Chains A and B, each alone.
Chain A
Amino acid sequence: MGSNAGGFDFDLCKRNALLENKGMTLPKAWKTGTTIAGLIYKDGVVLGADTRSTSGSTVADKNCTKIHFIAPNVYACGAGTAADLEHVTEMVSGQVALHRYATGRQTRVITAMTMFKQHLFKYQGHVSAALVLGGYDLNGPHLFTIYPHGSTDSLPFATMGSGSVNAMAMFEAYYKDDLERPEAMALVARAIRSGVMNDLGSGSNVDLCVITKDGVDYLRNYEYLQAKTYTRQFPVKYPPGTATVLKQHVLSLKGVEVIEGAEEMDVS
């Protein structure tokens, strides 16, 4: 593949185009048609998300994590293309860790927000990542929404994703300033549940993440909304006699030649 020394190599694009012409359908990107929400309460921030990941109209992952770690005091819920979200949140998480080492200080939520918005704006919306970023730093609790084109809003309560209108309905009806922790968690869970029940792109379970000055409570599968009538036991144990033996053939290895030492693997 010598023609480009460095830079992009577009050889596979020709191959993909050829396959497409022959009638092969390209795989669809996994999207997180989603309900994500966050709200600021008395002592901090509560973030919530559903756990359904879709590829077209098939559920690709019934229990994926949409609340991504950014810093010990900052988490981000993500909606949009799953790959874009994973990569952009991991990228900012790394950048922000390096920033911590350079400054010797706790990460500020607004730092992560600026890194996200500048990256997303650079790609003019082609990086399909819509985030609800929340955390607690020296200036108190913060909650931001970040859109794929790079615009941000600072709000006391926010929702994003295909189920955002469902969740926002709950927030607009029941949000109050300075809620207590159990009320705040119940309201966010209710908002996500509203998305799970009424939006086709959202489903499965509710994850919550509570961030205060004292630390983070990552409540994976806070509400488990899908009851499976039958769960398979792992490892599967089949008693002898389950499968009927039709034929048996025993091979002796006496005539096999064993060579010690081997040719080195070609790693050039």
Chain B
Amino acid sequence: LGTSIIALTFDGGVILGADSRTSTGNYIANRASDKITPLCDNVYTLRSGSASDTQAIAGYVQHFIAQHQAEEGDQVTVKTVANLVKMMAYNNKDFMQAGLIVAGFDKHGGGQVYSISLGGTVTATPFAMSGSGSTYINGFCDKYWRENMSEQDAMEFITRALRYAMTWDASSGGCIRTVTITAAGVKRQFIQGSQIPPTYGELPRQQVVA
């Protein structure tokens, strides 16, 4: 999963964004993959690193959080889910290559974003990004990210950032998927590759699928 993944909090919730390319060496195994995986109703995760490792972790966390949710009788907090993901990554650090971003909305803390890196470090930040493509947009994000943006501004920021990451990183590309989580619920959006405006020097992308 050479990837570009971003999550940020905005005024009212969180937005998660990802590209859709899964590559094995130089071959693109899946050009329309979904790297945004639900862990429970109000918490989603962005996956980067090894596809099998992150899918396995997501599977276990979904299972245990569902049990926890049944016991809680109430919405699970984002921090709990992030902590469980961290435990999986930390306790199996010798066998895993998984960089995950856990983001969601709960009524106690509002929108939250937790980044869990390779060794199992958790960092809670209002904005996080990961994956091979994130390195190319450090400068862009430093300049254009603001705290507490509106949903529309946040969406524009994420799509623009991912657009640049997908241009510069060979392991990122395809289409842009986003998930917005607020108190009202979850909204999924999708921007096709052909609809992503080309960056300077790029040829316009044609819709090739018949």
Specify whether A and B are partners: yes
Instruction: Please list the residues of chain A having a beta carbon within 8 angstroms of any beta carbon in chain B.
Output: 114, 117-118, 120-121, 124-125, 145, 147, 149-153, 155, 165, 172, 174-176
Residue in chain B with minimal CB distance to A150: B52
Bound CA–CA A155/B31 (angstroms): 10
Bound CA–CA A13/B50 (angstroms): 33
List the one stretch of B22-30, B80-88, B135-143 in contact with chain A: B22-30
Tell me which of A114, A145, A149, A174 has the highest count of chain B C-beta atoms within 10 A of its own C-beta.
A149
- The residues of A that contact B210 with a CB separation of less than 8 Å are 174-176
Tell me if B52 and A147 are in contact (CB < 8 A): yes
Q: Is B66 an interface residue (CB 8 A)?
A: no
Q: Is B32 an interface residue (CB 8 A)?
A: yes
- The residues of B that contact A147 with a CB separation of less than 8 Å are 24, 29, 51-52
Q: Which 5 A-B pairs have the closest CB atoms?
A: A151-B51, A149-B52, A151-B52, A150-B52, A153-B30
Instruction: Please list the residues of chain B having a beta carbon within 8 angstroms of any beta carbon in chain A.
Output: 22, 24, 27, 29-30, 32-33, 50-52, 55-56, 59, 95, 208-210
A-B contact count (CB 8 A): 44
Tell me if A153 and B22 are in contact (CB < 8 A): yes
Bound CA–CA A153/B50 (angstroms): 13
22 A–B contacts from the bound complex (CB under 8 Å): A114-B59, A117-B52, A117-B59, A118-B59, A120-B52, A124-B95, A145-B29, A147-B51, A147-B52, A149-B50, A149-B51, A149-B52, A151-B50, A151-B55, A153-B22, A153-B29, A153-B30, A153-B33, A165-B27, A172-B208, A174-B210, A175-B210
Tell me if B56 and A121 are in contact (CB < 8 A): yes
Q: Which of B22, B32, B209 contacts A175 (CB 8 A)?
A: B209
Bound CA–CA A174/B210 (angstroms): 7
14 further A-B contacts with Cβ under 8 Å, apart from A121-B56, A176-B210, are: A114-B59, A117-B55, A117-B56, A118-B56, A118-B59, A121-B55, A147-B29, A149-B50, A149-B52, A151-B51, A151-B52, A153-B22, A155-B30, A174-B210
